[in-house]
Structure 1
Amino acid sequence: MSHDALVALKNPGFRRIALTSLLVTLALLMQDVVLGYELYNRTRDPLVLGWMGLAEALPYMALSLIGGHWADRYNKRTLWLTGHGLMIVSAVWLWLVFEDVPVTFTLQEKIWWVYGVNFMNGLTRAITGPALHSWIPLLIPPTQYGNSSAWTSASWQTGAILGPVIGGFVYALAGLSWALGIILVLLVMGGVLIGLNAAPYAQSTVRERPSVSESLREGIQFVWQNPTILYSITLDMVAVLFGGVVAILPVFATEVLMIGADGLGILRSAAALGAILTTILLTFFSPMSQPWRNLLWAVFAFGIATLVFALSEHFFLSCLALFLTGAFDSVSVVIRETLMQTLTPPEMRGRVSAVNGIFIKASNELGAFESGLAAKLMGAVPSVVMGATVALITVAVIAKKSRRLLRHSGALAT
């Protein structure tokens, strides 16, 4: 039987959402790069960069569950457009601040406004993320969930790769003002695309509406009592929290591999390249025939590739290992997203997506902190060896606890 790799993209509603994901990711990654470079270049204070990330992460993690509750109760299109509209307003204000309009701002005032805009972006993404992720399964049949997850991941990975490159290129050639202007245009284009989508149909399966606290508790309990979703989120969180190496790549570049900034750039892009090529490949070859088995093997292989990177003293082997970490991570992401869409009742998808988002955001931010702290205390190589070992042990423990899921792995995809 032939497999149509473009089947989800033939749905105009999903196609607009995937393209919007690409545009918004491009815009936000461009913004992170150009503002980070601008502020660090003016202050030479790395703590400014840390506060930029924290300003966005904290409100996102604090309010994602509320965003999930709203996504399950209210119109998802309206929620997304409202949140995205606030993001556009923030981008306009940011451009005005760096243009010194309507008044001249001091450097410290500009830094605080950047923190404020990042804080607002964290708030808006806590609203738009669950709304968009719970909207996708309403547009396509369950048989296309795997394909849609692959394309959603591919659109995000493409934005994550091209955003910093385009941002740096525009900043170098035309300056900060043009870069912020292009970011604003990309955000507006994303808003227009979602505005063209019809509002999702109302959920007739929703019972008598619970209170906010009951609604949030229901979402958390559903994840906690569903071993497939809980274990898949846990696997991803542990792998990123302990096995991630992106934050300390400069240490490996200078102290282990003895390469310069250009080599560091290649290292940074290797994992992203592996991720995007694999997600595109997964649109042709679905991993959902034996999803739980494939998920365990993917995270196990991620740990092995991380271990190889830690022990490598050769640039090519290090690049290959990072390429494979991106590839195997993409397999686990596609499987996890597909399982969540398949196993979660429609009326709870917003809250479950929010719980997943909190885990992922926390693991990314805390993982960077853990990597830096462990490298400072133990050294870069021992810290990554330890992290990869923790990830491998976690796979072994969850594999043992989920033997029933392994025996019925094929049934999870149906």
Structure 2
Amino acid sequence: MTVRADPYAALRFPEFRALLASGVASSFASRALAVVIGYQIYQLTKSPLALGWLGLVEAAPALGLALIGGHVADRRDRRRILLITRVIMLVTALMMAFVGGTSLAALYTLVFITGLARGFGDPASSAFETQVVPMGAFVNAGSWLGSAGQAAAMVGPAVGGFAFDLMGARGAYLMIAVLHAVSLVTLALIAPKPLPVMPGDPEPIGQSIRTGVQFVARDRVLVGSMALDLFAVLFGGAVALLPVFAHDILKVGATGLGFLVAAPSVGALLAMLWATRHPPLARAGLSLLLNIAGFGVSIIVFALSRSLWLSLVALALSGAFDGVSMVIRRAIVRLRTPDHLRGRVAAVSLLFIGSSNEIGAFESGVAANLLGTARSVWAGGIVTLLVVAATAGLVPELRHLSLIEPQDD
């Protein structure tokens, strides 16, 4: 069940429009950078292993520093943290253009620096969103930010690849630097916000991090929704195996692979835009469970399909179900977390998401090697359905959750 709402509620706030523009520019830059630097490193090395190291070099500092970044976001000016990290992103893009050149070590070093910046910037960004719009617009703001992220996921890589072919690596990095500059300028249009009000005396960093983790662990709805995302992506994800489906099962070549990769983002974007008009607030917990179950069923259909069109529909539906569940999970985190803990709770959530993405790709490869590609994917979809059923039974608070009435901190 959904409720009708003002689809432009968050957009009516000028500062949110600035935040959205900043996020769009930053997301486009990041998506384009992934293609450009990946393609350049492969040109330099001709080694798939070098691409694997590329992902690890960025993910390790980003995930490793997330909890510390969450602590800092709850103690310092979140806007200033974002401005500093955006400056770092801008400088690293410029250095890739003028210093990276043909040096693999330099490129890895710069990517590692961007990972360090993400470790502090991602928790601050998640927490800062709630300081830009009032609580009543949190869900709508999340839908618009999610839609922008999906648009960047669809268009950003193509823009990065086109820029590389047209202007070479240096020109592409300069374009990415311009996008980071736009992100920085639009973020600076937002007025400084007050520091979070901390109850009691300041805690040492170790205790502060434990406080954030314990807050999530005590809230069965929070930990249940995060665990659903973790296990759904861990076992039900098929993205890492799409090249195998395109080449060996569907036999649609590189062009078909491009359509397969884009299909989930198309579904997610449409679902998130729908959520701006019909936010899934009433019976949000049940809706979350049903959408993740729908994701699992879609993955099973995709694994069994031998038709490109059916596969595209199944992947688009998987993206749509995931898109709605993302809106709900984002709303749960925003509405159930007090302001002074938002950075640390966001960091825990990012660890769940990051772990599921990184470990999920590895799990997909191992399972496909043991069971066969198609069998491993439909089996993963079945595991996702079992996880949904187990969560519904073990966390009745989530099953009965409604977000129509925003909760007070």
TM-score (norm 2): 0.96
One-letter amino acid of the counterpart of residue 272, structure 2:
T
One-letter amino acid of the counterpart of residue 181, structure 1:
L
Q: Contact (CA 8 Å) 1:30, 1:163: kept in 2 or not? A: yes
- Quote the Cα distance in structure 2 between the aligned partners of 1:289 and 1:205: 32
Residue by residue over 1:327-358, the C-alpha shift from the partner in whole angstroms, topping out at 9 and shown as x without a partner, is 11111111011111100011000000011011
1:11 counterpart (13, 21, 25): 13
SS at match of 1:409: coil
One-letter amino acid of the counterpart of residue 350, structure 2:
G
Question: Match for residue 97 of structure 1?
Answer: 99
Residue by residue over 1:287-342, the C-alpha shift from the partner in whole angstroms, topping out at 9 and shown as x without a partner, is 11111010000100000000100111111000000001111111111101111110
Cα distance, 1:130–1:404 mapped onto 2, change above 3 Å:
closer
Question: Match for residue 39 of structure 2?
Answer: 37
Residue by residue over 1:102-143, the C-alpha shift from the partner in whole angstroms, topping out at 9 and shown as x without a partner, is xxxxx4xx2122211121111101111111111111222211
**CA drift at 1:206:** 3.4
- Quote the Cα distance in structure 1 between the aligned partners of 2:111 and 2:359: 18
Question: Match for residue 149 of structure 2?
Answer: 156
Q: Contact (CA 8 Å) 1:309, 1:317: kept in 2 or not? A: yes
Question: Match for residue 363 of structure 1?
Answer: 356
Gaps of 5+ in 2: none
Cα distance, 1:197–1:408 mapped onto 2, change above 3 Å:
closer
Question: Match for residue 259 of structure 2?
Answer: 266
- Quote the Cα distance in structure 2 between the aligned partners of 1:407 and 1:185: 47
Q: Contact (CA 8 Å) 2:224, 2:398: kept in 1 or not? A: no
- Quote the Cα distance in structure 1 between the aligned partners of 2:324 and 2:120: 26
Q: Contact (CA 8 Å) 2:98, 2:170: kept in 1 or not? A: no
SS at match of 1:199: coil
Residue by residue over 1:165-221, the C-alpha shift from the partner in whole angstroms, topping out at 9 and shown as x without a partner, is 101111122222211110000001101111121111233353211110110000000
**CA drift at 1:412:** 6.9
One-letter amino acid of the counterpart of residue 173, structure 1:
L
Cα distance, 1:385–1:347 mapped onto 2, change above 3 Å:
same
Cα distance, 1:404–1:339 mapped onto 2, change above 3 Å:
closer
Question: Match for residue 325 of structure 1?
Answer: 318
Matched, 1:235 2:209: no
- Quote the Cα distance in structure 1 between the aligned partners of 2:53 and 2:358: 11
Q: Contact (CA 8 Å) 1:27, 1:183: kept in 2 or not? A: yes
**CA drift at 1:265:** 0.6
- Quote the Cα distance in structure 1 between the aligned partners of 2:343 and 2:41: 36
SS at match of 1:352: helix
One-letter amino acid of the counterpart of residue 352, structure 1:
V
> How many residues of Structure 1 are paired with residues of Structure 2 in the alignment?
405
Question: Match for residue 28 of structure 1?
Answer: 30
- Quote the Cα distance in structure 2 between the aligned partners of 1:266 and 1:302: 19
**CA drift at 1:42:** 3.1
Question: Match for residue 102 of structure 1?
Answer: none
- Quote the Cα distance in structure 1 between the aligned partners of 2:114 and 2:302: 34
Residue by residue over 1:135-172, the C-alpha shift from the partner in whole angstroms, topping out at 9 and shown as x without a partner, is 11122221111101101111111111111010111112
Question: Match for residue 54 of structure 2?
Answer: 52
Give percent identity, aligned residues only: 38
Gaps of 5+ in 1: 100-106
One-letter amino acid of the counterpart of residue 345, structure 2:
V
RMSD: 1.5
Matched, 1:177 2:179: no
- Quote the Cα distance in structure 1 between the aligned partners of 2:333 and 2:303: 32
SS at match of 1:206: coil
